[in-house]
Amino acid sequence: MSQYLSYAIQLAQMVEGQTGINPPVGAVVVKDGRIIGLGAHLKQGDKHAEVQALDMAQSAAKDATIYISLEPCTHYGSTPPCVNKIIDSGLAKVVYAVKDTTLPSEGDEILMQAGIEVEHRPIPEAEALYEDFFQAKRQSIPQVTVKVSCSLDGKQATDEGQSQWITNQAVKQDVFQLRHQHDAVLTGRGTIEADNPQYTTRFENGKDPIRVILSRSGEIDFELDMFKQSQPIWIYTENEQLTTDLGHVTVIHLETCQVETILKDLYERGVGRLLVEAGPRVTSEFLHHHSFNELILYYAPKLIGGSGQHQFYQTTDVLNLSNIPELEIVDTTLLEQNIKLQLRKK
Amino acid sequence: MSQYLSYAIQLAQMVEGQTGINPPVGAVVVKDGRIIGLGAHLKQGDKHAEVQALDMAQSAAKDATIYISLEPCTHYGSTPPCVNKIIDSGLAKVVYAVKDTTLPSEGDEILMQAGIEVEHRPIPEAEALYEDFFQAKRQSIPQVTVKVSCSLDGKQATDEGQSQWITNQAVKQDVFQLRHQHDAVLTGRGTIEADNPQYTTRFENGKDPIRVILSRSGEIDFELDMFKQSQPIWIYTENEQLTTDLGHVTVIHLETCQVETILKDLYERGVGRLLVEAGPRVTSEFLHHHSFNELILYYAPKLIGGSGQHQFYQTTDVLNLSNIPELEIVDTTLLEQNIKLQLRKK
pLDDT digits (tens, 9 = 90+) for A198-225: 898 888 888 899 999 999 999 999 999 9
pLDDT tens for B170-182 read 999 999 999 999 9
A221: nearest Cα among A246, A192, A254, A184: A192
Mean pLDDT of chain A: 93
- A232 to chain B, minimum CA–CA distance in Å? 14
Does the CB of A233 have a partner CB in chain B at under 8 Å? no
Does the CB of A69 have a partner CB in chain B at under 8 Å? no
pTM of the full structure = 0.86
Contact A33 B205 (CB under 8 A): yes
The closest CB to that of B38, out of A32, A40, A206, belongs to A40
Residue in B closest to A66 by C-alpha: B205
Question: Is residue A90 predicted with pLDDT exceeding 90?
Answer: yes
Q: Are B340 and B332 in contact (CB under 8 A)?
A: yes
Contact A30 B56 (CB under 8 A): no
- A203 to chain B, minimum CA–CA distance in Å? 9
Poorest-pLDDT segment among A46-50, B110-114, B202-206: B202-206
Rounded CA separation A315/A290 (Å):
13
Question: Is residue B104 predicted with pLDDT exceeding 80?
Answer: no
Contact B15 A35 (CB under 8 A): yes
| Pairing mode of beta strands A26-31, A65-70 | antiparallel
The closest CB to that of A38, out of B4, B30, B38, belongs to B38
Question: Is residue A197 predicted with pLDDT exceeding 70?
Answer: yes
Q: What are the chain A neighbours of B28 within 8 Å (beta carbons)? A: 14
Contact B38 A32 (CB under 8 A): no
pLDDT at site A82: 92
Contact B10 A15 (CB under 8 A): no
Residue B201 CA from chain centroid, whole number: 15
Contact B4 A42 (CB under 8 A): no
Q: What are the chain B neighbours of A31 within 8 Å (beta carbons)? A: 205
Q: A340: part of which helix (H) or strand (E)?
A: strand A338-345
Does the CB of B213 have a partner CB in chain A at under 8 Å? no
Rounded CA separation A147/A142 (Å):
15
Rounded CA separation B177/B296 (Å):
13
Length of chain B measured in residues:
346
Question: Is residue B308 predicted with pLDDT exceeding 90?
Answer: no
DSSP class of residue B93?
E
Residue A88, phi then psi, degrees to nearest 5? -60, -30
Helices B3-14 and B124-139, packing angle to 10 deg: 40
| Pairing mode of beta strands B273-276, B184-188 | parallel
Q: What are the distances in angstroms from CA A330 to CA A346, B138, B311?
A: 11, 48, 49
Rounded CA separation A105/A121 (Å):
15
pLDDT tens for B263-296 read 999 999 999 999 999 999 999 999 988 999 999 9
How confident is the model over B66-85, as a mean pLDDT? Answer: 91
pLDDT at site B1: 63
Q: Which of A50, A71, A277, A294 is catalytic?
A: A50
Rounded CA separation A109/A116 (Å):
9
Poorest-pLDDT segment among A53-62, A295-304, B232-241: A295-304
Q: What is the ipTM of this complex?
A: 0.81
The top-scoring range by mean pLDDT among A217-226, A298-307, B163-172 is A217-226
- Long-range CB pairs of A250-258, under 8 A, 24+ apart, other chains included: A257/A214, A257/A216
Q: In the A/B pair of chains, how many CB contacts fall below 8 A?
A: 87
Give the number of C-alpha atoms closer than 13 A to the C-alpha of residue B246, restricted to the C-beta side: 22
pLDDT at site A89: 97
Contact A38 B52 (CB under 8 A): yes
Question: Is residue B254 predicted with pLDDT exceeding 90?
Answer: yes
| Pairing mode of beta strands A233-237, B34-40 | unpaired
Residue in B closest to A67 by C-alpha: B205
- A205 to chain B, minimum CA–CA distance in Å? 5
How confident is the model over A309-337, as a mean pLDDT? Answer: 86
Neighbouring residues of B47: CB distance < 8 A, sequence distance ≥ 6: B39, B41, B55, B79
Provide the residue type at A205 as one letter. Answer: N
- For the CA atoms of chain B, what is the radius of gyration? 23
DSSP class of residue B5?
H
Q: What are the distances in angstroms from CA A4 to CA A67, A125, B36, B172?
A: 6, 14, 22, 19
Rounded CA separation A134/B144 (Å):
47
Q: Are A27 and A8 in contact (CB under 8 A)?
A: yes
Mutation site for B-interface testing, chosen from A29, A121, A204 by largest number of B Cβ within 10 Å: A204
Q: Which residues of B253-286 are buried (b: 16+ CB within 10 A; e: fewer)?
A: eeeebebeebbbbbbebebbbbbbbbbbebbbbb
3 state DSSP class of B338: strand
Question: In chain A, what is the straight-line distance between the N-terminal and C-terminal CA atoms, in Å?
Answer: 28
A76: pLDDT confidence band, cut at 50, 70 and 90? confident
Contact B30 A205 (CB under 8 A): yes
DSSP class of residue B203?
S
pLDDT at site A1: 63
Rounded CA separation B202/B2 (Å):
37
B50 is known as an active-site residue:
yes
- Ramachandran sector of residue A340 (left: φ over 0; alpha: ψ -120 to 50; beta: rest): beta
Residue in B closest to A55 by C-alpha: B56
Between residues B25 and B80, which one has the greater pLDDT? B25
pLDDT tens for B111-148 read 999 999 999 999 998 998 999 999 999 999 999 999 99
Residue B149 CA from chain centroid, whole number: 19
Mutation site for A-interface testing, chosen from B5, B34, B41 by largest number of A Cβ within 10 Å: B34
Q: Are A190 and A211 in contact (CB under 8 A)?
A: no
Question: Is residue B50 predicted with pLDDT exceeding 80?
Answer: yes
Rounded CA separation A285/A258 (Å):
9
For the beta carbon of residue B20, count every other beta carbon within 10 angstroms.
18
